[in-house]
């Protein structure tokens, strides 16, 4: 029973992770994919922090007299991981914006259709990128 | 400590630092020179390290002066140095090639950040190959990944954006899986250092957490490796990225993923657990086989040569994972050999296509017409590269095939030998599609390209031909590749 | 010893140098062809000297590189190899002579490229002849395919493209799929690929495996054009005549059967071969090919195609002999490599000459052209007789030994197949001179259009050689006996 | 407490899956991050909680909103079936649960994770590093190299956004044209708040040794000060104060500062990032080292965060101005 109590926490976290994961692979909207990705990662972070948790332990900042602290290492790892995930999100969103501008949609399947259509055409795709050209002049 | 003792960190940190320097100077020319200098430095450094390692065994370097497992350790063994040599040499050549290709393909105001990002990608990948700490590996994996997403998104064709995004999503999922895997390992061992893990894990092989961790690491890495069902991100990413990027990534990125796989399967875990206790060997063989056949078949029907090569890359990764799945010293060795040789071929081919795009303006079959007359050297490079891809004797590809087939025969799995050969058969077809388009004169009515000679500039030809010659050299003299690979395999497989 | 090694190097390098040098003479055809001729003659001299100096008891060994530990790229000729090398070296100058006449009259495009790859193919063929282990042989076997590909597709026409695909597809496909597998497998079993008199396989090798290996080797060597892998040869006939003559009647196809002989004699050892059921099966398959090819040849109207099928049949003689693996059948096969070469190359030369003089490529059109080009057609007749195996021509010797081989091994069905095919040869080869001389055709003007030209010279030479080889087959016999001694 | 939190987390997650209004989803994500942060707090991870709040609820949400402004707020109903994803997810989930079956119970002080490496950090770091916040010690010293890598990740993200979106130079700005309209009250409030925000950022930067905080959080807050200013006082105003090209270089300087510390010790014969080269007294050496690298992190984070914001908002203006054909 205590066993279940002790693991229950993990299981909820797993549920959260999977919720995020599900959003990523099931949703067609790119923005939502990114949101799902962030959910997925954020939940994974909870898993780490749970690993480092020591019941009855202090926040890992040294104070006279106390000797039981939570494990600082997972905290450090997750600090790094959070930064990584926000960077990824930023890049992903930036790409989405450009996709919106060039495809004028952010729905996966529509983009797919456009791409396939373009496969048949023989024309080079430069004119898809007035942005590029303008900027070349600048 | 002399500078030489610091080489392990220097070969990583120099390209890393070069990136912000590019941004500071903010000049295309300077960035190019900086990048070139940094890569060449790392290359020379790696050669130096190779000598040290072959002479006196693995090197360990404690960062921040904190000895492992408390601090982060850099650990170089033969496998790492093979990868580093590959990375730095290819990187140097690619950057040398980049000069004009980038000027043409990438708008002015992006050239500087482009070089900076390329440097980060290079450093990130190198960092993966040298790190002895699983979490540090993750961090550098992310550096290289984010850099790669960006570089791919720079492609002129808008499909590059979509490809980059796909890659970003898949890659991040993979990374998160790896993160979870690492978490599980940490949960049961309390350490992140590879050596430390390898000492502590054997007693825990029956532990379900460890097994789950193993599974997540493998899946995560296979996503990066584009192993068959997880390969969907690769073709477009390589096809629509700027030429330089395709060349660099095709030659190195997936190879580093293979490195990670080997590192985790054989160093962090050990041979018997990974490939005997766990059913991974069967899975690798099965997926590898499917990858070889299916991707080669798809490759045959491509008209965009970069896409064709991308699919061929997936097939080649199939060969590699299949050889690993053979679960024998010879198998691992041949995987490493092919890893090395395939980088050479694909590097050469993609660079050659880059030169072609630079001059002709595209890499589709229709652009090939009259290539032989127009850019003979480039065409010849493509032909030789293609032959190497097939595995014609006298090229590096033949050596790979020889060892992989030997390995599968040794394992008593002659059907696999047949399969590998069948793969080369398909390779003949798709390679010959290119060669025919390039060599045979088009019926003059359809000849679009002027048949005046118009060869790519020297800074492009030199790297291309350096790789072509490497393809032939390592097809005839295999002392370096084979002996190193076999030694590395012995170390990895260890007791077995 | 030292000298013979230098000579071996020369055999490889002379044609190679020619190939590399030729592009620089692109501007002046005369100089270019002079270089070719000169090179070919030098090659002939070197080959002859090698034959003189070589000591077969401890043959010279030349290691170029060691791509795989203990599988070097090794050159170390045996009598068979020397024979092959001599053969090619003899025919190259003659063919060049012929080519000069032919190519110019025929106004081929990209002549330099043509001569260049021609010389390259010769170099590779020499390498095959001299190769000292299976790896080397395999490597250059593949190279030969690649070196000859540009010649096959020389015309650049759609048809040539198709032919090229078939050529490459069958030759490279089989060699990679089967030959390479067989080679690696053998290496895996025996731990060596060096050619040894009594085979390399340890006595305890699973016979079943040996059977498989033999099949792989034979089917992997599509250059030997054993059915069902023979289609590439007729297809390759789109190439210019000199190519069909030297490469697709001699160098390439003979490289195929040469490989098989090497495999049978020096990898398996004839004692083992005769024990393998696979060998019998293959012998019968060869017998079938012999008859079938002759029958198909009968139906061909295009001269070159007819000759091509005749070649397929003749090649199977050699395979048959190899698979019977009796001493006399082996001798017959080895000999047939040479004798058939002279006969067939002459026939092709003549076909080319006919094309040049009368622009006719079909047998049915040849009625009454005998008056226009009598010399050519006489030579054709003589060569045909040699190919059929009638005295007084070289062809007879080899056939003799082969028939003997079949009888020795009591395979009377195979004996029959040999005789039947000889009969068919008689019919389909002699039809041509018959039509030319005796069928009249009112339309054809009776003008003599056969000026003395280089290619006529070539035809004459080869015809004479056919005769000579019957009268003074010393060199041939010397080598043949050496091979026999080796068995 | 935990149970309640977890329950709320689940609710938010499920809601995020079901709702099609992306604006709402983004808001939910922000809430989710806040809840996570709170949960981290309850697990004694204050630094992480702080960061998660600043990043997840702060930056990420802002970026997502900026994106939605361009890509439209509503998601189309996905046509493709969700069957396969469901299978994949359940398999993965099952694997994870399987993994936890042998896991040490939550909070078990004798769990292996608590045994091997971390005790050294807990027991020694106050002495050998000389600062109470163990997280900072590990972050900036024991595993300082990871943090260097992390900083490069941020730098890389900055470059990435510059490459993908490009940033407007000051020429493009429209002082006074505010994103949220002209609102006097807000302006006053911000004017009053801004100094405090910036001060607080500095405090966080310096206080990292003793309490929660450090370069990363400080950088974010500092940047958010500017972002707030930019939002309220019109797009581009902030750009006049800190022009993007300057920011780019600033970011570069930040990482260089960090890496420079490493190289300094390297060229003084110590290992890379071995702070003991910085001073004879080991603990003060650590102090200096940590201060410098945290400063580096702070600078980079600040400039990159601001760059990214500029890039996104800049994109927004153009896209609003010219119909989806922006010069980069």
Looking at residue B260, what is its pLDDT?
94
Task: Provide φ and ψ at C67, rounded to 5°.
Answer: -65, -35
How far apart CA C373 and CA C445 sit, in angstroms, is 12
- Sequence-distant (≥ 6) Cβ neighbours of residue B408 within 8 angstroms: B322, B323, B326, B331, B414, B416, B417, B420
CA distance D32 to D11: 9
Q: Which residue in A54, A52, A67 sits closest to D126, CA to CA?
A: A67
Query: Are B169 and A21 within 8 A, CB to CB?
Result: no
- Record: contact C143-B394, CB cut-off 8 A: yes
Distance CA C233, CA C256 (A): 12
Q: In 10 A of CB C478, how many CB atoms?
A: 12
- The answer to whether residue C218 scores a pLDDT higher than 60 is yes
The answer to whether residues C287 and C428 belong to one domain is yes
Cα angle D64, D67, D68; round to 5: 85
Same domain membership, residue C458 and residue C355: yes
Instruction: Identify which of C215, C202, C71, C176 has the alpha carbon closest to the alpha carbon of residue B405.
Output: C176
All structural domains of chain A, each given as residue ranges with its CATH number in brackets, are: 2-125 (1.10.287.3510)
**Sign (positive or negative) of CA dihedral B407, B412, B415, B418:** positive
Q: Which long-range contacts (CB under 8 A, 24 or more apart) does D23-30 make?
A: D23/D65, D23/D68, D23/D73, D25/A32, D25/A35, D26/A35, D26/D61, D26/D64, D26/D65, D26/D68, D27/D61, D29/A35, D29/A38, D29/A39, D29/D56, D29/D60, D29/D61, D29/D64, D30/D56, D30/D57, D30/D60, D30/D61
Q: How confident is the model at residue B332 (pLDDT cuts 50, 70, 90)?
A: very high
In a domain, C23, yes or no: yes
Q: d(Cα D230, Cα C108) in Å, to the nearest integer?
A: 77
The pLDDT of residue A128 is 38
For residue B187, what is the nearest residue in chain A, using CA coordinates? A51
Half-sphere exposure of A111 (CA within 13 A, CB side): 23
What is the domain extent for residue C115?
A: 1-201
Question: Inter-chain contact B418–C181, Cβ cutoff 8 Å?
Answer: yes
Residue at a domain's end among C172, C201, C230 = C201
Residue among A21, A122, C331 nearest B174 (CA)? A21
Q: What is the DSSP letter of A58?
A: B
Q: What is the mean pLDDT of chain C?
A: 83
Largest Cα–Cα distance in chain A? Answer: 76
Mean local confidence (pLDDT), C113-140: 89
- CB D74 within 8 Å of CB D65: no
Closest chain D residue to the Cα of B66, Cα to Cα = D142
Asked if the model's pLDDT at residue B444 lies above 60, the reply is no
D270 CB within 8 Å of a chain B CB: yes
Indicate if C188 and C315 belong to the same structural domain: no
Closest CA to D271 of D106, D119, D142, D93: D142
Checking phi first, is residue B401 left (phi over 0); if not, alpha (psi -120 to 50) or beta? Answer: alpha
Mean pLDDT of C50-54: 83
Q: What is the ipTM of this complex?
A: 0.88
Structure tokens at D157: 């993200």
How far apart, in Å, do the first and last CA atoms of chain C sit?
A: 24
Residue A20: partners with Cβ closer than 8 Å, 6 or more residues away:
A36, A37, A38, A39, A40, A41, A42, A43, D13
DSSP three-state, residue B496: coil
Q: What pLDDT, on the 0 to 100 scale, is given for residue D321? A: 47
pLDDT at residue B309, as a whole number = 92
CA C218 to chain centre: 16
Chain B residues whose beta carbon lies within 8 Å of the beta carbon of residue C187: 406
Tell me: do C324 and C408 sit in the same domain: yes
Q: Which residue's entry shows tokens 């170099």? A: C123
Residues B270, B202: Cα–Cα separation, whole Å: 8
Interface test with chain A among D6, D13, D88, by most A beta carbons within 10 Å? D13
Do C152 and C293 have their domain in common? no
In A, which residues are within 8 Å of D153 by CB distance? 83-84, 87
**Helix, strand or coil for residue B226?**
coil
* Both structure tokens of C41: 């003659």
Residue with structure tokens 């994974």? Answer: A44
Cα gap D190→D200, rounded to integer Å = 14
- Kindly state the average pLDDT of the residues D87-93: 92
Q: 10 Å Cβ neighbour count for C404?
A: 17
- Cβ–Cβ gap D105/A79 under 8 Å: no
**Confidence (pLDDT) at B215:** 93
Task: With beta carbons less than 8 A apart as the criterion, state whether B11 and B126 touch.
Answer: yes
Q: Which residue, C148, C176, C201, sits at the end of a domain?
A: C201
Please tell me the total count of domains within chain C. Answer: 2
pLDDT of B411 reads: 87
Average pLDDT over residues D292-300: 93
Distance from C-alpha of A37 to C-alpha of A43, rounded to nearest angstrom: 10
* Mean pLDDT in residue range B89-109: 90
- Verify that C303 and C193 share a domain, yes or no: no
Tell me the pairing of strands B73-76 and C71-75.
unpaired
- Comparing A118-127, B335-344, B363-372, C240-249, which segment has the lowest mean pLDDT? A118-127
**Residues C335-376: tens digit of each pLDDT:** 888 888 888 888 888 888 888 777 777 877 777 777 777 778
H/E element, C342: helix C327-358
Reading the block at residue D160, the tokens are 């990435």
- Best mutation target, D149, D172, D308, to test chain B (most B CBs within 10 A): D149
Residue of B nearest to D266 (CA): B6
* Residues in D touching A4 (Cβ below 8 Å): none
Identify the weakest region by mean pLDDT among B394-403, C214-223, C458-467, D277-286: C458-467
- Give pTM, 2 decimals: 0.90
Q: Which of residues 201-230 of B touch D (CB under 8 A)?
A: 207-213, 215-216
Question: What confidence tens digit (pLDDT) does each residue in B126-163 have?
Answer: 999 999 999 999 999 999 999 999 999 998 888 899 99
Q: Could you tell me the pLDDT band of residue B221, with boundaries at 50, 70 and 90?
A: very high
Specify which of B15-24, C196-205, C248-257, D233-242 reaches the highest per-range mean pLDDT. Answer: B15-24
pLDDT in tens, B161-197: 999 999 999 999 999 999 999 999 999 998 999 999 9
Task: Name the residue facing B146 among A25, A30, A87 (closest C-beta).
Answer: A87
- Examine residue C399 and state whether it is found in any structural domain, yes or no: yes
Q: Report residue B442's pLDDT band, with 50, 70 and 90 as the boundaries.
A: low
Query: Which is it for strands B59-62 and B73-76: parallel, antiparallel or unpaired?
Result: antiparallel
User: Of A27, A45, A61, which has the smallest distance from its Cβ to D132's Cβ?
Assistant: A61
Q: H helices within chain D, ranges in order?
A: 2-18, 22-42, 46-52, 61-71, 83-100, 112-115, 118-128, 134-137, 144-165, 184-207, 215-233, 237-241, 244-267, 282-321
| Residue C424 reports pLDDT greater than 90 | no
CA quadruple C167, C169, C170, C173: dihedral sign: positive
CA distance C247 to C249: 6
Q: Which residues of D touch A43 (CB under 8 A)?
A: 13, 36
Q: What is the pLDDT at residue D78?
A: 65
The three-class DSSP label of residue B192 is coil
Assess A135–D contact: CB distance below 8 Å, yes or no.
yes
**Partner residue opposite D99 with nearest CB, options B139, B150, B208:** B208
Residue C377 pLDDT grade (very low, low, confident, very high; cuts 50, 70, 90)? confident
Q: Does A113 touch chain D (CB under 8 A)?
A: no
Asked if the model's pLDDT at residue D161 lies above 50, the reply is yes
Query: Where does the pLDDT of residue C452 fall: very low under 50, low under 70, confident under 90, or very high at 90 and above?
Result: low
pLDDT at position B18 is 94
Residue C468 to residue C393: CA distance in whole angstroms: 8
Q: Which of C42, C37, C46 is nearest to C93 (CA)?
A: C37
Q: Which residues pair with residue A29 across a beta bridge?
A: A107
Helix, strand, coil content of chain A in percent (nearest 5): 75, 5, 20
Task: Let me know how many helices (H) and strands (E) chain C has, helices first.
Answer: 20, 2
Q: What is the pLDDT of residue C229?
A: 87
Query: Does residue C217 form part of some domain?
Result: no
Cross-chain Cβ contact B392/C153 below 8 Å? no
Q: Which residue in chain B is spatially nearest to A88 when comparing CA positions?
A: B146
Q: Would you say residue B272 has pLDDT above 80? A: yes
Helices (H), C359-453: 374-388, 395-408, 412-438
Residue C181 and residue C294 share a domain: no
Instruction: Kindly state the tokens that stand for B13.
Output: 């940190």
Q: For residues B295 and B322, what is the distance between their CA atoms, to the nearest angstrom?
A: 14
CA gap C113, C239 in Å, rounded: 13
Of C178, C201, C224, the domain-final residue: C201
**Nearest-by-CA chain B residue for D160:** B150
């Amino acid at each position: 029973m205590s066993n279940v109590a002790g693991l229950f926490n993990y299981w909820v976290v797993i549920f959260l992770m999977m919720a995020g994961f599900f959003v990523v692979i099931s949703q067609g909207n790119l923005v939502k994919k990114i949101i799902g990705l962030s959910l997925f990662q954020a939940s994974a972070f909870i898993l780490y922090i749970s690993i480092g948790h020591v019941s009855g332990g202090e926040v890992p900042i040294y104070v006279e007299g106390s000797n039981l602290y939570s494990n600082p290492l997972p905290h450090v790892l997750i600090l790094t991981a959070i930064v990584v995930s926000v960077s990824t999100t930023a890049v992903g969103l930036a790409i989405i914006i450009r996709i919106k501008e060039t495809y004028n949609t952010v729905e996966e399947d529509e983009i797919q259709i456009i791409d396939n259509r373009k496969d048949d055409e023989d024309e080079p795709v430069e004119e898809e990128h007035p942005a590029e050209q303008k900027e070349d002049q600048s | 400590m002399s500078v030489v003792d610091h080489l392990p960190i220097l070969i990583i940190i120099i390209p890393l630092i070069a990136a912000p320097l590019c941004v500071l100077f903010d000049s295309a020319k300077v960035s190019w020179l900086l990048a070139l200098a940094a890569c060449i430095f790392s290359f020379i450094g790696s050669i130096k390290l190779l000598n040290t390692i072959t002479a006196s065994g693995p090197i360990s370097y404690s960062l921040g002066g904190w000895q492992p497992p408390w601090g982060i350790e850099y650990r170089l063994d033969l496998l790492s140095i093979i990868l580093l040599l590959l990375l730095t040499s290819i990187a140097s050549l690619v950057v040398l090639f980049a000069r004009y290709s980038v000027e043409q393909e990438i708008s002015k105001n992006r050239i500087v950040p482009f070089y900076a990002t390329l440097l980060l990608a290079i450093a990130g990948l190198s960092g993966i190959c040298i790190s002895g700490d699983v979490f540090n590996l993750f961090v550098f994996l992310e550096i290289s990944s984010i850099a790669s997403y960006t570089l791919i998104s720079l492609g002129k064709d808008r499909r590059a954006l979509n490809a980059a995004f796909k890659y970003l999503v898949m890659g991040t999922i993979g990374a998160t899986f790896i993160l979870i895997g690492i978490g599980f390992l940490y949960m049961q061992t309390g350490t992140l250092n590879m050596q430390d893990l390898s000492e502590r894990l054997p007693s825990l092989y029956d532990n379900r957490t460890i097994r789950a961790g193993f599974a997540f690491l493998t899946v995560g890495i296979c996503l990066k490796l584009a192993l068959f069902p997880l390969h969907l991100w690769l073709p477009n990413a390589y096809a629509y990225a700027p030429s330089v990027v395709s060349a660099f990534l095709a030659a190195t990125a997936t190879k580093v993923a293979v490195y990670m796989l080997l590192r985790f399967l054989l160093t962090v875990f050990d041979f018997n657990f990974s490939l005997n206790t766990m059913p991974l060997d069967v899975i690798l063989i099965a997926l590898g086989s499917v990858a070889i056949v299916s991707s080669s078949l798809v490759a045959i029907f491509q008209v965009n040569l970069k896409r064709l090569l991308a699919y061929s890359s997936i097939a080649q990764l199939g060969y590699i994972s299949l050889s690993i799945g053979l679960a024998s010293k010879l198998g691992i060795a041949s995987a490493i050999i092919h890893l090395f040789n395939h980088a050479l071929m694909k590097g050469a081919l993609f660079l050659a296509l880059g030169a072609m795009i630079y001059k002709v303006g595209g890499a589709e079959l229709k652009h090939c017409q009259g290539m032989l007359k127009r850019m003979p050297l480039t065409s010849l490079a493509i032909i030789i590269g293609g032959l190497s891809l097939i595995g014609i004797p006298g090229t590096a590809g033949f050596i790979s095939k020889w060892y992989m087939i030997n390995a599968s025969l040794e394992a008593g799995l002659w059907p696999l030998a047949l399969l590998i050969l069948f793969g080369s058969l398909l390779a003949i077809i798709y390679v010959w599609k290119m060669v025919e388009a390039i060599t045979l004169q088009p019926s003059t009515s359809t000849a679009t390209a002027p048949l005046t000679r118009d060869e790519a500039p020297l800074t492009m030809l030199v790297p291309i031909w350096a790789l072509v010659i490497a393809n032939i050299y390592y097809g005839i003299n295999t002392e370096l590749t084979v002996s190193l690979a076999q030694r590395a395999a012995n170390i990895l497989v260890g007791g077995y | 010893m030292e000298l013979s090694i230098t000579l071996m190097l020369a055999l490889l390098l002379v044609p190679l140098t020619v190939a590399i040098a030729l592009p620089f003479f692109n501007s002046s055809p005369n100089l270019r062809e002079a270089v070719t001729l000169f090179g070919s003659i030098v090659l002939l001299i070197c080959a002859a000297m090698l034959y003189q100096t070589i000591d077969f008891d401890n043959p010279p060994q030349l290691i170029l590189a060691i791509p795989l530990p203990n599988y070097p790229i090794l050159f170390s000729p045996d009598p068979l190899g020397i024979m092959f090398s001599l053969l090619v070296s003899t025919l190259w100058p003659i063919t060049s002579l012929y080519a000069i006449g032919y190519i110019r009259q025929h106004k081929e495009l990209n002549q330099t490229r043509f001569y260049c790859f021609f010389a390259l193919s010769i170099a590779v063929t020499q390498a095959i002849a001299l190769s000292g282990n299976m790896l080397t042989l395999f490597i250059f076997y593949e190279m030969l395919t690649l070196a000859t590909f540009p010649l096959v597709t020389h015309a650049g026409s759609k048809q040539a493209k198709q032919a090229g695909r078939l050529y490459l597809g069958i030759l490279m496909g089989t060699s990679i799929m089967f030959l390479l597998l067989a080679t690696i497998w053998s290496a895996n079993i025996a731990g060596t690929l060096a050619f040894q008199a009594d085979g390399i396989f340890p006595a305890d090798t699973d016979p079943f495996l040996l059977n498989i290996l033999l099949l792989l080797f034979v089917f992997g060597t599509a250059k030997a054009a054993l059915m069902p892998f023979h289609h590439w040869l007729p297809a390759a006939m789109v190439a210019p005549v000199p190519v069909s003559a030297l490469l697709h009647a001699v160098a390439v196809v003979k490289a195929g059967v040469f490989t098989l002989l090497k495999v049978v004699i020096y990898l398996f050892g004839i004692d083992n071969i005769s024990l393998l059921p696979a060998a019998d099966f293959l012998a019968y398959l060869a017998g079938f090919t012999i008859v079938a090819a002759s029958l198909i040849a009968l139906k061909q109207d295009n001269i070159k195609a007819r000759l091509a099928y005749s070649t397929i049949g003749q090649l199977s003689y050699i395979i048959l002999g190899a698979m019977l693996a009796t001493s006399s059948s082996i001798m017959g096969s080895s000999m047939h490599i040479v004798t058939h070469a002279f006969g067939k190359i002459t026939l092709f030369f003549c076909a080319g000459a006919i094309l040049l003089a009368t622009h006719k490529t079909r047998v049915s059109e040849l009625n009454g052209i005998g008056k226009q080009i009598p010399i050519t057609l006489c030579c054709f007749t003589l060569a045909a007789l040699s190919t059929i195996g009638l005295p007084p021509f070289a062809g007879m010797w080899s056939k003799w030994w082969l028939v003997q081989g079949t009888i020795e091994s009591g395979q009377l069905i195979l004996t029959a197949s040999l005789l039947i095919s000889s009969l068919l040869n008689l019919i389909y080869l002699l039809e041509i001179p018959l039509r030319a001389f005796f069928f009249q055709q009112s339309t054809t003007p009776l003008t003599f259009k056969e000026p003395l030209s280089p290619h006529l010279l070539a035809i004459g030479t080869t015809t004479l050689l056919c005769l000579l080889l019957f009268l003074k087959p010393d060199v041939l016999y010397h080598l043949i006996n050496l091979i026999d001694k080796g068995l | 407490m935990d149970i309640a939190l977890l329950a709320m987390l689940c609710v938010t997650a499920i809601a995020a899956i079901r709702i099609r209004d992306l604006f709402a989803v983004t808001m939910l994500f922000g809430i989710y991050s806040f809840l996570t942060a709170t949960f981290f707090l309850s697990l004694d991870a204050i630094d992480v909680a702080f960061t998660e709040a600043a990043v997840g609820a702060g930056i990420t949400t802002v970026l997502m909103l900026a994106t939605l402004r361009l890509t439209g707020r509503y998601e189309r109903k996905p046509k493709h079936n969700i069957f396969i994803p469901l299978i994949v997810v359940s398999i993965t989930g099952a694997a994870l649960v399987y993994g936890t079956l042998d896991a040490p119970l939550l909070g078990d002080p004798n769990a292996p994770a608590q045994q091997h490496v971390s005790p050294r950090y807990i027991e020694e770091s106050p002495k050998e590093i000389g600062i109470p916040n163990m997280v900072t010690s590990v972050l900036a010293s024991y595993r300082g190299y990871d943090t260097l890598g992390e900083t490069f990740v941020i730098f890389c993200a900055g470059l990435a956004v510059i490459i993908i979106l490009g940033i407007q130079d000051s020429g493009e700005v429209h002082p006074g044209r505010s994103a949220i309209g002209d609102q006097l009250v807000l302006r006053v409030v911000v004017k009053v708040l801004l100094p405090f925000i910036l001060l607080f950022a500095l405090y966080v930067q310096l206080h990292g040794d003793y309490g929660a905080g450090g370069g990363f959080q400080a950088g974010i807050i500092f940047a958010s000060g500017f972002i707030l200013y930019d939002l309220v006082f019109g797009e581009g105003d902030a750009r006049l104060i800190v022009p993007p090209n300057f920011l780019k270089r600033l970011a570069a300087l930040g990482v260089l500062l960090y890496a420079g510390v490493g190289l300094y010790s390297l060229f003084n014969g110590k290992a890379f990032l071995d702070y003991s080269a910085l001073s004879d007294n080991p603990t003060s050496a650590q102090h200096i080292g940590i201060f410098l690298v945290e400063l580096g992190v702070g600078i980079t984070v600040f400039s990159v965060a601001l760059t990214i914001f500029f890039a996104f908002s800049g994109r927004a203006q153009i896209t609003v101005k010219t119909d989806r054909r922006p010069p980069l």
